[in-house]
Structure 1
Amino acid sequence: MRVEIWSDIACPFCYLGKSRFERALAGFPQRDRVEVVFRSFELDPGRDKGDVAPVLDMLVGKYGISPEQAAANERGIGEQAAELGLGYRTEGRDHGSTFDLHRLLHYAADQGAHGPERQAALLDAFFRGNFAEEESVYNDDERLVALAVEAGLDADGVRAVLADPAAYAEAVRADEREAAQLGATGVPFFVLDRRFGVSGAQPVEVFAQALDQAWAAAEASPAS
């Protein structure tokens, strides 16, 4: 069974949702027969790479809320992250373009037999770098190189991708077009075996139920 997950590194609910899904998958009896594929989705497509701003300022402008409400929302997300054992800085983070990060995730997936493992490790590194660590992941290519090396990728290969704006760009856009075709207007968005969809950072129990339902459906009507 294949599970495709559309997400964005700038999305805190994608960070939470990935952790909750993985908890559900860990308890799924057929987990060794589940392939997980990460797909690209930008919450802020077209944003210039050099356009980096504080997260709180972005939230105030995007949602028309007060700085106090934006800060309270961040603290609430931080509490949810803590319940999952995830680091989350509720102050001092910034926001920017994630296009290069998505291109690197596709590069990681393109590493042969190790591709899925490298992609998953890189996504974890990007999430941690964006939400839990002080140094920004935006507009700093060497920061991305360092995180990619932690995930097992070759530094020179990563730099080559970053130096070529066309590298894996179409792969990112193709994922985003497919998300639109599937009706996804936000992330995280989970598609299980192209039979069931789950939107949002749902509780672990919801993901567990979806896995059970998708597996049962596949067993009842196997692909020809």
Structure 2
Amino acid sequence: MSDAVRPAGFASILKVWFAEYGRDLPWRNNPDPYKVWVSEIILQQTRVAQGMPYYLNFVERFPTVADLANAPLDDVMKAWQGLGYYTRARNLHRAAKMVMEDYGGELPRTYAELLKLPGLGPYAAAAVASFAFHEAVPAIDGNVYRVLARVYGIFEQSGKAEGKKLFWKLAEDIIDRDEPHVFNQAIIDFGALQCTPGMPDCPPCPFSGQCYAEANGLLVGATCISSC
């Protein structure tokens, strides 16, 4: 990681951008832990625009974790039909039963406990812990890897163990511990909407002039920045 650029107040700058440009998503307006969890599972390997109607239909058919746990698996699979990656639906159903049996019908509130549920990997567990319960844990998806790699000049590969550790440590250092849910949503949206793959929208970027990749001409077609 380069030491050349350290944007001052990264979290504050990001939150100002998010207040104006962040996406208006239904599970954010009503951060019910169950609905946040369902949204994260649906959006694994699925774009927001494609997943939205499935999410709305799913939470209408199964409005609570108890409804999901008590539903026949066939009904769950029918609601999932068309989304693909059907293991997600099976794991969601298994996890709902586990929540009812092992957690008294309440979704676990911590990252460590959420990781025990089928289908919840490090990113999804962190997203639920942060968005629903405000735990200060980084939720690092492809968008976040790309933003951090570009702004901070990280050359380590995000798919390798050492790279993952480096990204995680950086994200832990810069996360807003008072509003971690806002920070995580903001950096995810920033990567999805502004600091996009291939051709980012640099001129209006709030980090313009402070971004390592921009300053070093490494934004378009970059091979040396790990997650561009």
Bin of the TM-score, shorter chain as denominator length? 0.3 to 0.5
Higher relative contact order (CA 8 A, sep 6+): 1
Q: Rg larger in 1 or in 2?
A: 2
